[in-house]
Chain A
Amino acid sequence: MTTLALYSNKGGVGKTAAAVNLSYLSARTGTKTLICDLDPQGSATYYFRVKPKLKSGPKGFARGAKGVYKSVKGTDFENLDILPADFSLRKLDVLYSKFGNSKVRLKKMLCPFASEYRLIILDCPVTIGILAENILNAADHTLVPMIPTTLSVRTYRQLLAFCKKKKYDATRIYPFFSMVDRHKKMHKELMLSVSKNFKGVLKSFVPYLAQVEKMGIYRAPVSVFAPRSMASKSYQNLWSKVQSHILNPQD
């Protein structure tokens, strides 16, 4: 089992869209995939038309109770299941800090899924507290969507500094560009300089496209309702980079 987090300490960068589309593309290759919606807003859950409800409640979730495993739902797509979000997950940071081993609880909670799923994708809320540490501990690799703007880059630096301070392995963190406007000169320049100055930047990006926003209308991954669209192609491209660079690297 590999766990892949879509995480950013900045909001509105396209985490959920990427998590939903990548998990769909993974399942389509026949890989048993689970998407975990950790975000109390429950957008990924909404995209898959599932009710945002955890049978375990937030405490059970933090503890890894049986109810968590019973809450898993099949999506409309083969090989893809979802652990839905629940509004009460907003209390997760607080709950984690209440229990012992507060930084590895998420990792432990995911363990029983190892026998069933080959890939677990975590759709994470914006956080940089104990939940963030739980995510970094649980994920084998972390993908960070980054809009090519100064503020985004600044937040990414903050994340790297956080990792350094808390001793998390920053080589397992891979930024990729998201919501790119290719007409903007500044986007282009920033992408060049980021690729030069940071390690592990994936050579694939997701442009800013209306099709991605339409996911809210169709409530499905873009490759389902617009398989030939630019958006679908860019997620496919991103997925093949994730496969070749992260999941199955050749030497």
Chain B
Amino acid sequence: MIRNQKFNVPDGYSEKQLFDQLAGQYAIKQAPRVAGKLTLYDTFDWRLFNKSLILYSSGNRLILRKLKKSDTLHNIEFSRMPVFYWDLADGDFKKRLAPIIKMRALLKLVEVQTRSKPYNILNPDEKTVARLLFEEIRPAQGRRKPVLARHLWLKPIRGYPKYERRLAKNLKEAGLKLGTEKEFFFNVLALADSKPESYSAKVNIQLDPSMRSDQATKLILRFLLKVMRKNEAVFEKDLDTEILHDFRVAIRRTRSALAQIKNVFPARTTDRFKKDFAYIGKRSNALRDLDVYLLNQESYKRRLPAVLRDDIDLLFAHLHQSRANAFQHVLRGLNSGKYKKIMKDWETFLNKPPPGSAAAANAELPIIELARQRISKRFRGIVKTGSKILANTEDELLHALRIECKKLRYLMEFFANLFPRKKINALIAQLKNLQDNLGDFNDLCVQQEYLLNIATELPGSQQQLKKTLVAIGSLVETLNREKQTVRDAFARTFTDFAAPANQELFKELFAAKTGN
């Protein structure tokens, strides 16, 4: 394995003296000085950083590396910076990036200026056998600007280990010390406007079990408000589909918290904001639907027989057009006085200190008790509904069960930190399996219906339209078959979820405890 070594060059170190010394021992060819930029990228929610990865571009190369190790994972040439993984050419890089960033856009975090002088060490055949690269990094352009870091890179070339060893020895003797990638990239990241982990849509709220329920609920709601605000702030830039998605999930969670963590606030307040957030959520329903169809464009195409694949394009062109309108509709909503007033009132309410006397029945109850109550009740409801579905096969009940599961999931996530982590995570994982099954079923139902509806409003010439309708018909048929498969898998998934061991675990964590 070839490892580049990076030496830190201290302030005031004479580069010239070093190279004069080396020139006595090696044939050195200086290559032209290169001024460039080093730009760091990550997704809005730091998906790469959270995996200890660093993605940066330097010149026309895009490099992915581990934050804490010195090896480069991928290094490719690019002509236009990819925004999504699907903008990359097929290859290992794309394969590695796809499951990590998924549908998220790569955003520029920070850019620094680099000036580097490469020196090729040549053997008697004038073959490059090692490289030295003297590099200066500045936060802004200009030779007089302060320097963020100075490095001397030793880049060995495979098959020439003697040169590598000798050069490393020379550099150490010249007083240079090895630096780490980690410290460098952290220095660069420190220049970015936002900090790693400054945003995550994942609910992670530290609650004290004995906390008053109204206060604890406000903590949860404040967290969700922060998520809304962060996404709302960049919505106009239309970075990727997940900005809206995270925004909507935060709204859904807020509504769910208001409805489910019962009797912690005055009924009038709860009712008002439940309505307000329902209104805000509804406004972006159409946009989210369109986003999902467009994201799945390729998978829809794959489901079609090859002869029909191009005929569906008309549908997607239409959806694309509709999306532009839907986006503007949401944007107008976010800029409206009504929206701003709701959010401001909400913020004021959340920041208000709790009233001295309880304004609602559960307000002063320790949060852990309320959490146990609510989760237990929800769980029992799911087991009951699910068992009914096992007995007869009504699709409506499946829909109802899906909603119940979602409510339980939100509750468990809000309160996750109150319970032993391993156990609650195991339960969440079980629940997720069931939710995936129900979610798939619901998606397929909705998609089928959507496709049948949209078929009536497609523009296009008669001939074109007929072909597109055939393609849509074929797609509906495929979805129907998939639906049946998912439906058949329900019984097993549910039985797993409602298994005695799982029920025991639920009881253990959430049954009312007396005496503590």
Contact = CB atoms under 8 A, between A and B. Distances in A.
A29 B158 contact: no
B158 A74 contact: yes
Interface string A56-89: 0000000000000001111010110100000000
B75 A79 contact: yes
Contacts of B2: 74
Contacts of A50: 125, 127, 159
Contacts of B160: 73-74
A174 B484 CA distance: 46
Contact of B91 (A29, A76, A78): A29
A129 interface: no
Interface string A167-184: 000000000000000000
B175 to A, nearest CB: 28
Interface string B53-75: 00000000000000000000011
B306 interface: yes
A124 B159 CA distance: 22
Contact of A49 (B77, B127, B158): B127
A127 interface: no
B158 to A, nearest CB: 4
B171 interface: no
A118 interface: yes
A248 B159 CA distance: 31
Interface residues of A, number: 20
Contacts of A76: 127-128, 157
Nearest to B92: A118
Contacts of B75: 30, 78-79
A248 B92 CA distance: 13
Given A73-B158, A74-B157, A81-B158, A28 B77 contact: yes
Interface in A237-251: 248, 251
A29 B76 contact: yes
Contacts of A78: 75
Nearest to B2: A74
Contacts of B159: 50, 71-74, 81
A49 B93 contact: no
B89 interface: yes
B90 interface: yes
Nearest to A49: B127
Most interface-central of B74, B125, B127, B306 (chain A CB within 10 A) = B127
A51 interface: yes
Nearest to A70: B159
Interface string B78-94: 00000000000111110
Nearest to A51: B125
Given A73-B157, A73-B159, A74-B2, A30 B91 contact: yes
Contacts of B125: 49-51
B242 to A, nearest CB: 27
A251 B77 CA distance: 26
B345 interface: no
Contacts of A72: 158-159
Interface in A31-53: 31, 48-51
B1 to A, nearest CB: 9
Contacts of A73: 157-160
Given A49-B127, A50-B127, A76-B128, A29 B157 contact: no
A48 B90 CA distance: 28
A137 to B, nearest CB: 26
B197 interface: no
Contacts of A48: 127
B126 interface: yes
A164 to B, nearest CB: 32
Contacts of A51: 125
Nearest to B63: A30
Interface string A116-142: 001000000000000000000000000
Nearest to B309: A251
A72 B2 CA distance: 12
Contacts of A28: 77
B331 to A, nearest CB: 38
B327 to A, nearest CB: 32
B118 to A, nearest CB: 12
Interface in B153-176: 157-160
A168 B127 CA distance: 39
A219 B89 CA distance: 30
B112 to A, nearest CB: 22
Interface string B298-327: 000000001000000000000000000000
Interface string A183-227: 000000000000000000000000000000000000100000000
5 contacts: A30-B75, A30-B76, A31-B91, A73-B158, A248-B90
Interface of A: 28-31, 48-51, 71-74, 76, 78-79, 81, 118, 219, 248, 251
Closest 6 CB pairs of A and B: A30-B76, A73-B159, A49-B127, A74-B158, A74-B157, A76-B128
Given A74-B159, A78-B75, 5 more contacts: A30-B74, A30-B76, A30-B91, A73-B157, A81-B158
